[in-house]
Every structure is written in structure tokens, then in C-alpha cells.
């Protein structure tokens, strides 16, 4: 590589860092100001907070904020972090972090602790709020009881979460250690089978490059893999975490699209034209 090409590459790299707001070192990263952090918290958490205190460290600044509606405190941090590969650092940039989600959940539990205990006693269930992708987990012996418990719990969730911070969070439900579905503020209850069918339709919509709303669900059936059209054990994809190779039967979802009948199952194969991982079905037949 000649000197001119090398200099051009370096110049492009430096220009890219400049245009994207990145920096060559942690000390060069511009952290968010007091005003910027307040605005960020307002956008992320639905209400403008009050700054209680701030603490500046090396390449970071941490603010203690008070939620002006619920009156609890949480932290919000602006800090420098790096991006790289194989031990090499390519650039530095600013990131933001807050423990608001955990503190918001704690506030809910503290506010409705007695009501939560009443729901647990009424339906003989256990409600847990461990930090996770889900809002809560309800476990019990009877599926009817865990569903009813979720319905009651979501009444208090809606009462508390007026800013809809949890609108995308679900309460997952288990009866006798078996997953039975989920409930949320937007979906009162979705059973496990319906959720699975929706997931398969979303997969097929992605593979067909169409909007999932254009797919009309017909029915689901369970078939022996030997009865599924096009099944060939030698063409199954070996996907980490998949039970492709050991399946004896598969769920087959039937649906309409543009007046035509299609089906898809949960066996993963390679698309013969693109080599991409897809679900076995007739939805990709040209």
C-alpha cells in the first residue's frame, strides 16, 4: 500500500470519527451537561426530574435525580466508552445509563405491596418482580388462577403506570411449572399457543418480506415430520439451541395471503436460492 493510500485511509477514519461525534481517546469524549441529562431523562422516563446532586469522576458524571411524580430517586450517568475488536480500540464515544427501571419497579412494589399480597393469597399464586425483560412472573397450580391474578395485578399496574413506561412489558404466567402465556396492559391475556402462532407468522412475514397484518391465520395442526411435505432430514439446518434433528412432530400453521393458502412449520432449513435460514413451508415457492 503506497503512502498516499495510507494517508487517505487515515484521513477518512479521522473524518468518520469527527462526523459521528466519536473521539480518539476517553479524555476527548464530551459528556452530557446537566441540562442535557435532564432532557434525556424526561424523554426516556416520561417526566422531567429534579436534580438532587451530581458527582464527577474520571470520564464520567453521575446525577442523582428525583422523579417529580412518584418522589423516588434514581441515578443517571453519562460516561465515555470504547468500541473495538480483538482487543483493539477503534474509537471512544459517550453512553448514558440509568437505574430508573429498577427504582420505578421498587416504587410500584412499595406502593402496592399489600394489594400484591392479597392477590397472592386470593389465587394461591406467587408473584415475583426480579429485574428482567418482563414486568413480573406469576406462578401457581391452576392456569385459571394465574390468569385471574394477572388481570387483578394489571389493574394496579395501569393505575400506577400513567406515563406508560411499562406499555411493552409483560407479566409471564406459569401453571405447574409450564408456561401458559402472558398478560400486559395492551394484551389482557395471550395464551402460549396463540403467542407461538403469532411468532411463527411474524417469522413467515419476515421471510416473505410482507407486513404480518396481511397474513390471515387459519389453523394450527400437529403433524409427524414424515407427513410434512418437503421434509428431508438431510436438509435440516443445524442451528444452535434448535431441536431440529430430534423432532418427531411439528406444529404447522396455515394462513391466507392474497387469497392463496400457505403453511409453515417450526422446522428450520436452508433456502435453496439464498442459503438463508428459513422455516419449512410453501410460502417461499416461486
pLDDT for 116? 98
Segments making up each domain of the chain, as ranges: 3-99, 112-188, 193-281
Provide the grid cell at 283.
410460502
pLDDT for 17? 46
pLDDT for 4? 55
Using CA atoms, how far apart are residues 192 and 172, in angstroms rounded to an integer? 10
Using CA atoms, how far apart are residues 222 and 244, in angstroms rounded to an integer? 15
- Classify residue 172 by burial, with Cβ atoms within 10 Å: 0-12, 13-18, 19+: buried
- Classify residue 140 by burial, with Cβ atoms within 10 Å: 0-12, 13-18, 19+: buried
pLDDT, averaged in runs of 10, over the chain (286 residues): 48 47 65 91 96 91 96 94 61 87 96 98 95 90 95 95 92 96 86 90 90 93 90 78 75 92 89 83 74
Helix (H, G, I), strand (E, B) or coil at 282: coil
Instruction: Residue 122: name the closest of 141, 148, 103, 101 by CA.
Output: 148
Using CA atoms, how far apart are residues 188 and 158, in angstroms rounded to an integer? 12
The crossing angle, in degrees rounded to 10, of helices 100-111 and 143-160 is: 110
- Give 270's contacts (C-beta < 8 A, 6+ positions apart): 235, 237, 276, 277, 278
Amino acid at each position: 500500500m503506497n503512502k498516499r493510500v495510507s494517508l487517505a485511509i487515515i484521513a477518512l477514519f479521522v473524518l468518520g470519527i469527527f462526523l459521528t461525534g466519536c473521539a480518539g481517546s476517553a479524555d476527548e469524549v464530551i459528556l452530557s451537561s446537566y441540562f442535557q441529562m435532564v432532557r434525556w431523562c424526561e424523554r426516556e422516563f416520561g417526566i422531567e426530574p429534579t436534580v438532587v446532586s451530581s458527582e464527577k469522576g474520571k470520564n464520567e458524571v453521575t446525577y442523582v435525580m428525583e422523579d417529580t411524580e412518584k418522589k423516588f430517586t434514581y441515578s443517571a450517568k453519562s460516561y465515555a466508552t470504547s468500541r473495538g475488536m480483538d482487543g483493539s480500540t477503534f474509537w471512544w464515544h459517550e453512553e448514558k445509563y440509568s437505574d430508573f427501571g429498577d427504582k420505578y419497579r421498587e416504587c410500584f412494589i412499595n406502593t402496592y405491596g399489600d394489594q400484591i399480597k392479597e392477590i397472592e393469597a386470593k389465587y394461591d399464586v406467587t408473584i415475583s418482580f426480579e429485574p428482567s425483560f418482563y414486568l413480573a412472573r406469576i406462578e401457581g397450580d391452576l392456569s385459571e388462577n394465574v390468569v385471574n391474578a394477572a388481570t387483578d395485578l394489571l389493574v394496579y399496574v395501569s393505575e400506577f403506570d400513567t406515563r406508560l413506561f411499562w406499555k411493552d412489558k409483560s407479566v409471564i404466567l406459569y401453571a405447574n411449572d409450564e408456561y401458559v402465556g402472558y398478560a400486559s396492559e395492551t394484551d389482557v391475556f395471550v395464551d402460549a399457543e396463540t403467542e407461538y402462532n403469532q411468532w411463527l407468522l411474524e417469522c413467515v412475514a419476515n421471510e416473505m418480506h410482507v407486513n404480518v397484518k396481511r397474513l390471515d391465520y387459519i389453523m394450527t395442526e400437529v403433524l409427524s415430520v414424515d407427513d410434512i411435505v418437503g421434509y428431508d432430514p438431510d436438509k435440516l439446518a443445524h442451528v444452535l439451541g434448535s431441536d431440529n434433528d430430534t423432532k418427531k412432530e411439528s406444529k404447522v400453521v396455515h394462513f391466507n395471503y392474497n387469497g392463496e393458502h400457505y403453511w409453515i412449520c417450526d422446522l428450520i432449513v436452508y433456502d435453496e436460492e439464498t442459503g438463508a435460514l428459513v422455516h419449512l413451508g410453501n410460502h417461499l415457492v416461486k
